[in-house]
């Protein structure tokens, strides 16, 4: 029930008690507000409150007693966050004022964020009858013995999980609990208003405990609502990272140190638990934002392969260069440690990768653990829309039975503008200098069309591929390898 409904119900109970002639002392013990009952019965979740910057979404601890009018309180009136060492400080105000009935101004945070403590939520969970038996079931070795993958617990990704000591994370040691979480982030309209130009978005963050069987996994009482980022607009790009940092810090502690509960429903003497976050299950827009990748409409459009948007006609999977998790983390660290926004933009333009707090989890794989949910493709019928409307797969169009009648050929992509021609001369000059130590970094600053033209002209094809394909990172690496091979050949024949 909602709090409003509970308030009406409590008022009705108080009326019945007063009519029934029960003593005034008993009558006065009945609460008027449901929040009083929650407090007495300890039903409220344990949360932490933060003041959020309305511009950059930086978070600062908030205590209800804080007041900008009291100079002794340890609080900030304006945001002091700078995105890079050379960036300007945000300086956005954190407080707004509203007048009380007596006319006095009362300060309130412009944006307040409430974060639920994960360990406290787990403590409540394992205090419920029968929950531990359910949570322990997926960690049994028999879950890995079936060739049929009807659940994520039977996947190879779970078999390869390692604990902080380097030993297999699953199955759990005797008497110890091992938990696997998935993360979901999505925006919604809290007012259910779908009228044009009146859209409001709040962003929810949820943890799903995958130890539950599928029919219990997504029940509201078994999911952890980490927090809701208030609207009216959803955070863009890296603005969501301060909220994820709170969650990642708790997950990192849960994996490294674990948590010991002094008492659970089944274990009167307490029990030790460790946990890991594996899949991030969101729609395409959210999952790319969370893991630090560029949007799906950019040149780096794929989360698994280093394909460029210009390579969409390449349908042979054998030609697709796979992403490397170490390369992703390398560019993410470079973006995080960049001295200013200009350098960050250059790194992002070259790689399509920015830093994400999930990289603080040593075990987390940004490629294998990023999952695009199937709801949009199946339940919302987007797959049919893509096949019929976008790909034109039907009997009325030539080649639409799914078999390509064209062989993808390298296209030199003529360089028509002066800027591209200058870039080509610059890149050719860098290659002729044979400075291997700086060549890769220098080539990444040039447009992808220039690198593609160089590869096509000189038949530079990396790996086991047969055509020129790949993002700027792949093409630049292929050129550097080609230059190194040429230098080796010159030294060998000399």
**Helix, strand, or coil (residue 291):** helix
Same domain, 157 and 98: no
Under 8 Å between Cβ of 134 and 209:
no
Using CA of residue 22, residue 26, residue 32, residue 35, what is the dihedral sign?
Answer: negative
- With tokens 């119900």, the residue in question is 9
Same domain, 199 and 257: yes
Q: Cis peptide before 171, with omega less than 30 degrees from 0?
A: yes
Determine how β-strand 271-282 pairs with β-strand 177-188: parallel
H or E element: which one contains 50?
strand 47-52
Same domain, 361 and 448: no
Under 8 Å between Cβ of 455 and 475:
yes
Residue 476 CB neighbour total at 10 angstroms: 25
Tens digit of each residue's pLDDT (9 = 90 or more) over 375-404 = 766 666 677 777 777 767 777 766 544 444
Under 8 Å between Cβ of 446 and 423:
yes
Same domain, 23 and 105: no
Q: How many residues does the chain have?
A: 494
Question: For residue 168, what pLDDT is reported?
Answer: 87
From 56, 89, 116, give the residue that closes a domain.
116
Using CA of residue 141, residue 143, residue 147, residue 151, what is the dihedral sign?
Answer: negative
The tally of domains found in the chain comes to 4
Same domain, 162 and 213: yes
DSSP letters for 239-288? GGHHHHHHHHHHHHHHHHT-EEES--SS-TT-EEEEEEEEEEEE-HHHHH
From 53, 85, 116, give the residue that closes a domain.
116
Same domain, 93 and 199: no
What DSSP character marks residue 119? Answer: H
Q: Is residue 174 situated within a structural domain? A: yes
From 61, 83, 116, give the residue that closes a domain.
116
Q: Is residue 340 situated within a structural domain? A: no
Q: Which residues of the chain have pLDDT under 70?
A: 64-75, 138-148, 193-198, 376-381, 391, 397-416, 487-494
Same domain, 127 and 184: yes
Q: Is residue 224 situated within a structural domain? A: yes
pTM metric for this prediction: 0.82
Query: Which domain does 155 fall in, by range?
Result: 118-292+356-383
Bridge partners of 202, per DSSP, are 188
Same domain, 57 and 151: no
Same domain, 9 and 86: no
Question: For residue 247, what pLDDT is reported?
Answer: 94
């Amino acid at each position: 029930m909602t709090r409003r409904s509970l308030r009406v119900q409590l008022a009705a109970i108080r009326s019945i008690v007063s009519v029934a002639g029960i003593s005034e002392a008993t009558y006065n013990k009945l609460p008027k507000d449901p929040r009083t009952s929650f407090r007495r019965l300890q039903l409220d979740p344990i949360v932490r409150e933060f003041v959020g910057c309305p511009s950059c979404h930086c978070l600062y601890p908030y205590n209800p007693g804080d007041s900008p009018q009291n100079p002794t309180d340890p609080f900030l009136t304006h945001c002091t966050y700078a995105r890079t060492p050379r960036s300007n400080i945000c300086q956005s105000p954190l407080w707004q004022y509203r007048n009380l009935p007596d006319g006095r101004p009362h300060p309130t945070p412009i944006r307040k964020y409430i974060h639920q403590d994960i360990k406290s939520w787990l403590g409540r969970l394992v205090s419920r009858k029968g929950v531990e038996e359910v949570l322990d079931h997926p960690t049994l070795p028999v879950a890995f013995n079936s060739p049929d993958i009807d659940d994520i617990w039977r996947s190879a990704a779970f078999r390869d999980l390692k604990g902080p000591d380097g030993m297999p994370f699953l199955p759990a040691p005797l008497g110890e609990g091992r938990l696997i979480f998935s993360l979901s982030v999505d925006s919604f309209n809290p007012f259910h208003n779908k009228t044009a130009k009146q859209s409001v978005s709040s962003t929810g963050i949820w943890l799903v405990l995958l130890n539950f069987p599928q029919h219990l996994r997504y029940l509201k009482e078994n999911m952890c609502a980490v927090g809701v980022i208030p609207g009216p607009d959803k955070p863009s790009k890296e603005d969501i990272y301060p909220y994820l940092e709170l969650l990642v810090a708790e997950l990192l502690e849960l994996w490294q140190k674990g948590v010991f509960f002094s008492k659970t429903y089944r274990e009167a003497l307490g029990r030790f638990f460790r946990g890991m976050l594996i899949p991030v299950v969101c729609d395409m827009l959210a999952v790319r934002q969370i893991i630090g990748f560029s949007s799906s409409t950019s040149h780096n459009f794929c989360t698994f392969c280093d394909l460029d948007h210009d390579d969409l006609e390449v349908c042979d999977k054998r030609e697709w260069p796979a992403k490397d998790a170490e390369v992703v983390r390398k560019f993410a660290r470079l973006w995080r440690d960049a001295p200013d926004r200009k350098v960050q933009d250059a790194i992002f333009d070259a790689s399509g990768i920015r830093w994400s707090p999930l990289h603080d989890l040593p075990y987390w794989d940004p490629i294998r653990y990023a999952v695009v949910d199937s709801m949009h493709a199946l339940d919302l019928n987007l797959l049919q829309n893509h096949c019929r409307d976008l790909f034109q797969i039907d009997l009325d169009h030539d080649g639409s039975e799914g078999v390509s009648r064209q062989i993808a050929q390298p296209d030199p992509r003529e360089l028509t503008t002066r800027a591209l021609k200058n870039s080509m001369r610059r890149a050719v000059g860098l290659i002729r200098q044979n400075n291997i130590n700086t060549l890769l970094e220098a080539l990444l600053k040039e447009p992808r069309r220039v690198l593609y033209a160089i590869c096509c002209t000189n038949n530079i094809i990396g790996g086991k591929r047969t055509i020129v394909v790949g993002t700027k990172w792949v093409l630049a690496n292929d050129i550097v390898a080609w230059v190194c091979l040429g230098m080796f050949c010159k030294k060998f024949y000399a």
